[in-house]
Amino acid sequence: MKIEILTVGKPKASYVKDGLSEYLKRLKVHLPLSMKHVPDRSKRKNAEKVLEEEGKEILSTVGDEDFLVLLDVDGRLVDSVSFAAWVQKKLNETPKKLIFCVGGAYGVSEDVKRRANFLLSLSPMTFPHEMSLLILVEQLYRAVMINKGSAYHH
Amino acid sequence: MKIEILTVGKPKASYVKDGLSEYLKRLKVHLPLSMKHVPDRSKRKNAEKVLEEEGKEILSTVGDEDFLVLLDVDGRLVDSVSFAAWVQKKLNETPKKLIFCVGGAYGVSEDVKRRANFLLSLSPMTFPHEMSLLILVEQLYRAVMINKGSAYHH
């Protein structure tokens, strides 16, 4: 099973781009991971319209058999060890792709929430969406290290 | 009341330094905030000795009347709005300093945990200690924006 990280727009903050490229570099030797971006429409004024358009683009890239994990502050909280076990289990299963979707500045549409197979919360705290992406990638790297029994723990 | 962020060693990862300097720049016009570092002893092999020495240094910088918040994965989870209200309440109270302590690579000693007035968890997930520092500073900035009624929400 392949893993895809799906975001709305490419990250802009330089600290996010730096951290991301560091963790993606470390991850790519361990996981069949790719990044995909749908266009960021958040410059438009009407938030509802932004969510609707971005939502359509997100859903058009998700296949029927793909397993869609949506990052959502109100989703399920898990610790890193449980997350690692869960990722391993999913990698061993059959669906075509495991997709982690990080919404845009306004979040995602209700349609995307309904399509999601799992809502994952990184914290009850609200993080900038770009920071959530960085945290997600670090947690995937941590998951790989936990599953390998490595001493990475910093 | 002043706010101090107390860390073990200075951050090394360039993405953390970049993100931190961005948020500290934004924060300093709003909050009387300073950073303090105690020496990082984690290069030594004996983790217990590292924690003991770092713990002593941490405790020597904390005054009797200071309110010490320790970041701890097993601490209390709060959402950003509650955190903002809590920070505002603390700023209005009397203790000398509100100190947020982010431990080192091995965490902190039991003595530091016992001295802490509050254990704050950013997530049930384990984050690198440097990333926790970055998240904390963003949450402080978010708290200020929430308390000002600003539209910052990304």
pLDDT of residue A116: 98
Q: How far is A100 from chain B (nearest CA, A)?
A: 17
> Could you tell me if residue A8 is inside a domain?
no
Mean pLDDT along residues A124-144:
97
Arithmetic mean of pLDDT over chain B: 94
Using the CB atoms, write b or e for B13-41: b if 16+ within 10 Å.
bebbbbbbebbbebbeeebebeeeebebb
Q: How many CB atoms lie within 10 A of CB A111?
A: 14
Measure CB to CB from residue B125 to each of A19, A22, A79 and give the nearest one.
Answer: A79
> Could you tell me if residue B24 is inside a domain?
no
How many CB pairs lie under 8 A apart between chains A and B? 82
- Angstrom CA distances, B122 to B19, B78, B104, B139, stand at 17, 8, 16, 9
> Could you tell me if residue A16 is inside a domain?
no
CATH number for B111? 3.40.1280.10
Q: How many domains does chain A have?
A: 1
Instruction: State if pTM tops 0.90.
Output: yes
With CA atoms as reference, report the closest residue to A79 among A146, A129, A134, A1: A146
Shortest CA distance from B17: residue in chain A: A15
User: Please, which residues have CB within 8 angstroms of residue A63's CB and are 6 or more apart in sequence?
Assistant: A96, A97
> Could you tell me if residue B123 is inside a domain?
yes
- Angstrom CA distances, B89 to A15, B86, B97, B114, stand at 31, 5, 13, 23
Q: How far is A6 from chain B (nearest CA, A)?
A: 17
Is A122–B126 a contact, with Cβ atoms under 8 angstroms apart? Answer: no
Measure CB to CB from residue A127 to each of B13, B16, B135 and give the nearest one.
Answer: B135
Give the residues of chain B that fall short of pLDDT 50.
none
pLDDT of residue B96: 84
Mean pLDDT along residues A17-39:
95
pLDDT of residue B154: 55
Which residues from chain B sit within 8 angstroms of residue A71, using beta carbons? none
pLDDT of residue B7: 98
What is the percent of chain A where pLDDT is above 70? 98
pLDDT of residue A152: 77
> Could you tell me if residue A73 is inside a domain?
yes
Mean pLDDT along residues A84-89:
95
> Could you tell me if residue A135 is inside a domain?
yes
**What would the pLDDT profile of A43-84 be if each residue is shown by its tens digit?**
887 999 999 999 999 999 999 999 999 999 999 999 999 999
The whole-angstrom separation of Cα A138 and Cα A117 is 22
- ipTM of the complex as predicted: 0.94
The pLDDT confidence band at residue A154, using thresholds 50, 70 and 90, is low
- Domain range for B66 is 44-153
> Could you tell me if residue B128 is inside a domain?
yes
Mean pLDDT along residues A93-120:
93
